[in-house]
Amino acid sequence: MAGHRVVIVGGGFAGLQLAKDLKCPDTSITIIDRRNHHLFQPLLYQVATTVLATSEIAWPIRAVFRSRKDVSTLLGEVIGVDTAARLVSLKDGHSIPYDTLVLATGARHAYFGRDDWEPFAPGLKALEDATTIRRRLLLAFEKAELESNPDIRRAMLTFSIIGAGPTGVEMAGIIAELTHRTLVEEFRSIDTTRARILLVEAGPRVLPAFHETLSHYAEQSLAAMGVEVRTGRPVTNCNEHGISIGDEFVPSHTVIWAAGVQASKASVWVGAEKDRVGRAIVQPDLTVMDHPEIFVIGDAALVKTGEGTPVPGIAPAAKQQGKYVAKVIKARANQRPAPPPFKYKHLGNLATIGPSSAVIDFGKLRLKGTLAWWIWGFAHIYFLIGTRSRMAVALSWLWAFTAGHHSARLITQKETLKNEV
């Protein structure tokens, strides 16, 4: 298609929302992603903990835009941007020209300079991460069933989660449900209810982005479910045998990373100033300094609120930025004045803890318990793509809630770590 060429790198919440909202005559849109699917990341931990199947939270990008003839999708990995020639370079040697470029490349987990921990403590940002964690969780029980040495068995049944933000808290809660309800009658040599679930947070409390009363409630709820919460001391070492919390070593064969994140290399590609975690520092209209034709949005960008604090890296924020950039591009195409600078509207923080237990922080309004759990569930189902996905997730949750069974408990792929079968 001739006309103005918009290239969007990244098919996450920000990029997808932008493409959906951007409908301009004589404008073509190309979405480039190294995976062929859009992923609903807020529920990724439920794939990792056997509640949901991968197909219930991911959709082919091509299918999403099958009726949009102005949108093309390319499967490719971006390795650089030539800002002078306005070309996006792909790893396979192809170059994609653009008139407007939007980098919505997201972030990956970061290990605070200890990347050597990653093989032993996988993070959770992609479907591959979720299936890796799910495999290790399930294999831990299978291996423990065969183990006669009580010390080794204890280490096999110790699950350590590093980082007590929403992902860490939600992960710990579902693992507790898995050990105390789902698997309790399925093994003969081990008692799954005696599994140790350890949630470690370097800061003073769990869910630090929430109000203190909600953090306290979450910690009490986790303790009631059998989760051991350790706050105020960081993990100082991690290997195939376990983790060190300060000077204390905890034997643990299954470790999950839910702590820091690192932005993609988008800022490097376009020569933008960046913060300590690699996010591009953008202008009030989300463009890069000296490059009004380049936008950086979502987790790849450092965007400030009206109070000067960073906009949180959550799905609603990314979607708002995608909507805003669509307005800017349409205004330019129609030679209209640009919209006012981007203004983030915070819709609240949500986290689930366990069955019928969640916390919601709307600022002045704070909810906890069963009502918060129902609101959390409806909100997540609402943002899923398509009726089929909403029905599938709702049915999976209903089955898990009423029968205590998790439907996605298949062990797939071969593990290469020495402490794996």
Query: What is the C-alpha separation between 312 and 260, in angstroms, rounded?
Result: 13
Enter the tokens of residue 215: 């953090």
Q: Which of 273, 306, 334 is the endpoint of a domain?
A: 334
Give me the tens of pLDDT residue by residue for the chain, a chain 421 residues long. 469 999 999 999 999 999 999 999 999 999 999 999 999 999 999 999 999 999 999 999 999 999 999 999 999 999 999 999 999 999 999 999 999 999 999 999 899 889 999 999 999 999 999 999 999 999 999 999 999 999 999 999 999 999 999 999 999 999 999 999 999 999 999 999 999 999 999 999 999 999 999 999 999 999 999 999 999 999 999 999 999 999 999 999 999 999 988 999 999 999 999 999 999 999 999 999 999 999 999 999 999 988 889 999 999 999 999 999 999 999 999 999 999 999 999 989 999 998 889 999 998 899 999 999 999 999 999 989 877 788 889 888 888 887 777 877 888 766 544 444 3
Residues 283 and 320 in one domain: yes
- Of the candidates 267, 275, 256, which has an alpha carbon nearest to the alpha carbon of residue 111? 256
Type of residue at 47: V
The answer to whether position 183 is within a domain reads yes
Q: Among residues 334, 356, 383, which one ends one of the domains?
A: 334
Active site residue 248: no
Listed residues 238, 259, 280: the one ending a domain: 259
Residue 85 to residue 111: CA distance in whole angstroms? 35
93 and 143 share one domain: no
Q: Of these residues, 118, 128, 170, 248, which one is catalytic?
A: 170
98 and 124 both lie in a single domain: no
Q: Are residues 282 and 237 in the same domain?
A: no
Side chain identity, residue 3: G
Domains held by the chain: number: 2
Residue 134 maps to which CATH number? 3.50.50.100
Q: Are residues 145 and 246 in the same domain?
A: yes
Residue 315 included in any domain: yes
The rounded distance, in Å, linking the Cα atoms of 63 and 73 is: 10
The answer to whether position 99 is within a domain reads: yes
The CB density around residue 266, as the number of other CB atoms within 10 Å, is 30
Alpha helical stretches, state H, 100-245: 127-146, 150-156, 166-177, 212-224
- What is residue 274's DSSP assignment? B
Reported as type and span, the H/E element at residue 393 is helix 387-403
User: What is the spatial distance between Cα 159 and Cα 390, in angstroms, rounded to a whole number?
Assistant: 30
Same domain, 136 and 152: yes
Please spell the DSSP secondary structure of 222-268, one letter per residue: HHHTTEEEEES--EEEEETTEEEETTEEEE-SEEEE-S-EEE-THHH
Check whether residue 210 and residue 153 sit in a common domain: yes
Same domain, 207 and 91: no
Residue 377 lies in a domain: no
Residue 51, token pair as written in the block: 């509640």
* 273 found inside a domain: yes
182 and 133 together in one domain: yes
The reply to whether 245 and 273 lie within a common domain is no
Asked, for residue 346, whether it belongs to a domain, the answer is no
Tell me phi and psi for residue 64, to 5 degrees.
-60, -35
Same domain, 146 and 249: yes
Q: Is 131 within the bounds of a domain?
A: yes
Let me know if residue 236 belongs to a domain. yes
pTM, two decimals, is 0.93
- Domain co-membership, 152 together with 255: yes
Domain membership of residue 227 as a residue range:
115-259
